[in-house]
């Protein structure tokens, strides 16, 4: 005696088609229920130079008939901004497509596209095209375009990339994560286009490398690209640009950092350490006074908590 259970996948509208599919699966699996495999969502990988625009294809594959809607969200690296989203040929005519919230900063949620439809679709193809611009000062590197579960933490890279339109649990998807590679054209002194002078690479690595803003050879938390900008040693975790001293006296804050000859420094003050947008320069292009630079800031007395950052560059 078998009992057939029609299992409603979270976020998927139960319908006769699902019931038939479940029944067929049950009949061909000698009594064991096997859920219809879910489609996968992927992004293509692109290489783009700073200061230009490109588009990413949001691709659905292995699709079964599907109703409802999705929110597809992923992280864009800092310096990459969403321009607009264009519907792909896969979407049924009754779709409504929208671009959602956007944040330009890595670590923030970026909901790039969502749609709802009352018509099922079952073909593979491009759901939509996501157009982005890359800032001219975007740091070179290979950035995984990590998906996140819609409306929920934590970020995930391989499962639950899509959420149902009603905000419920996502269906089970295996998502292919694209890679956005920011690479500069080769130029004099930078033959591999990683934004780092070849001489500096040879000095520290012995060869011209492919280090970038997404590599950190010494694991000190500063990328090799930022170690180049600060001219710290990318193979020594003790060598990193950081505020080493901070003294508060009568409303003035004196901070010190180890500086390198030939570099200039910018001091930024912010109110939210998680939000780079809250930071603004309070002193720019301060010349290096090796071995230590000291800068004193007198902030307004309207904030209970303040944060400082120091940025170095050649």
Residue range at the interface with Ca ion (CB under 5 A); choices 31-39, 44-52, 231-239, 298-306: 231-239
Which residues from 232-261 bind Ca ion, rule CB under 5 A?
232, 239-240
Q: What is the size of the binding site for Ca ion (CB under 5 A)? A: 13
- Distance from first CA to last CA of the chain, Å, rounded? 77
Q: How far is the CB of 216 from Ca ion (least distance, A)?
A: 4
Q: How far apart are CA 287 and CA 266, in angstroms?
A: 9
Strand, helix or coil for residue 221: coil
Under the binding rule (CB under 5 A), the answer on residue 215 touching Ca ion is no
Q: How far is the CB of 37 from Ca ion (least distance, A)?
A: 42
One DSSP character per residue, 238-301 reads: T----EEEEEEETTEEEEEEE--TT-EEEEEEES-TT-GGG-EEEEEEEEP-TTEEEEEE---T
Q: How far is the CB of 261 from Ca ion (least distance, A)?
A: 17
Which residues from 151-210 bind Ca ion, rule CB under 5 A?
190, 192, 194, 196, 198
Q: How far is the CB of 80 from Ca ion (least distance, A)?
A: 21
Residue range at the interface with Ca ion (CB under 5 A); choices 98-106, 146-154, 218-226, 284-292: 218-226
The secondary structure element, H or E, covering residue 129 is: strand 125-134
Instruction: Between 40 and 213, name the residue whose CB sits nearer to Ca ion.
Output: 213
Under the binding rule (CB under 5 A), the answer on residue 216 touching Ca ion is yes
* 56 neighbors 130 (Cβ within 8 angstroms): yes
Q: How far is the CB of 215 from Ca ion (least distance, A)?
A: 8
Instruction: Between 157 and 239, name the residue whose CB sits nearer to Ca ion.
Output: 239
* 267 neighbors 283 (Cβ within 8 angstroms): yes
Under the binding rule (CB under 5 A), the answer on residue 213 touching Ca ion is no
Q: How far apart are CA 98 and CA 143, in angstroms?
A: 24
Q: How far is the CB of 214 from Ca ion (least distance, A)?
A: 12
Residue number, nearest CB to Ca ion:
190
Under the binding rule (CB under 5 A), the answer on residue 114 touching Ca ion is no
Instruction: Between 113 and 222, name the residue whose CB sits nearer to Ca ion.
Output: 222
- Token pair of 274 as six digits: 């998680």
Q: Which residues, at least 6 apart from 129, have a Cβ–Cβ distance to it below 8 Å? A: 55, 56, 57, 58, 85, 86, 88
Under the binding rule (CB under 5 A), the answer on residue 226 touching Ca ion is no
Residue range at the interface with Ca ion (CB under 5 A); choices 38-46, 120-128, 212-220, 275-283: 212-220
Under the binding rule (CB under 5 A), the answer on residue 218 touching Ca ion is yes
Instruction: Between 30 and 207, name the residue whose CB sits nearer to Ca ion.
Output: 207
- Token pair of 88 as six digits: 């792909």
Binding mask 13-52 for Ca ion (x = CB under 5 A): ----------------------------------------
Instruction: Between 53 and 202, name the residue whose CB sits nearer to Ca ion.
Output: 202
- The verdict on whether omega for the bond into residue 291 sits within 30 degrees of 0, i.e. cis, is yes
Burial 210-241 (b: 16+ CB within 10 A, else e): ebbbbebbbebebbbbbbbbbbbbbeeeebbb
Please say whether the dihedral angle defined by the alpha carbons of residues 102, 106, 109 and 112, taken in this order, is positive or negative. Answer: positive
Under the binding rule (CB under 5 A), the answer on residue 220 touching Ca ion is yes
The residue ranges that bind Ca ion (CB under 5 A) are 190, 192, 194, 196, 198, 216, 218, 220, 222, 227, 232, 239-240
């Amino acid at each position: 005696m078998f009992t057939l259970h029609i299992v409603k996948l979270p976020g998927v509208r139960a319908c006769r088609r699902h019931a038939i599919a479940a029944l067929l699966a049950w009949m061909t699996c000698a009594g064991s229920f096997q859920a219809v495999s879910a489609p996968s969502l992927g992004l293509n990988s692109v290489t783009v130079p700073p200061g230009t625009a490109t588009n990413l294809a949001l691709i659905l594959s292995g699709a079964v008939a599907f109703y409802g809607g999705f929110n597809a969200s992923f992280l864009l690296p800092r310096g990459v901004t969403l321009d607009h989203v264009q519907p792909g040929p896969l979407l049924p005519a009754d779709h409504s497509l929208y671009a959602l919230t956007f944040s330009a900063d890595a670590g923030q949620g970026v909901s790039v596209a969502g749609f709802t439809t009352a018509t099922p679709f079952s073909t593979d193809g491009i759901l939509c095209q996501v157009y982005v611009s890359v800032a001219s000062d975007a740091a070179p590197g290979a950035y995984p375009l990590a998906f996140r579960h819609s409306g929920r933490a934590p970020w995930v890279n391989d499962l639950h990339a899509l959420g149902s339109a009603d905000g419920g649990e996502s269906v089970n998807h295996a998502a292919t994560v694209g890679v956005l590679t920011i690479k500069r054209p080769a130029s004099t002194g930078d033959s591999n286009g990683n934004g780092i002078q070849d001489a500096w690479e040879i000095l520290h690595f012995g060869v011209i490398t492919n280090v970038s803003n997404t590599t950190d050879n010494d694991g000190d938390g500063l990328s090799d690209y930022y170690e180049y900008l600060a001219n710290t040693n990318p193979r020594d975790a003790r060598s990193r640009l950081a505020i080493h001293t901070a003294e508060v006296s009568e409303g003035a804050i004196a901070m010190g950092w180890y500086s390198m000859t030939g570099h200039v420094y910018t001091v930024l003050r912010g109110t939210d350490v998680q939000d780079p947008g809250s930071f603004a320069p309070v002193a720019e292009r301060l010349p290096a006074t090796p071995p230590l630079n000291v800068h004193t800031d007198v902030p307004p007395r309207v904030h209970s908590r303040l944060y400082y950052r120091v940025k170095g560059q050649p």
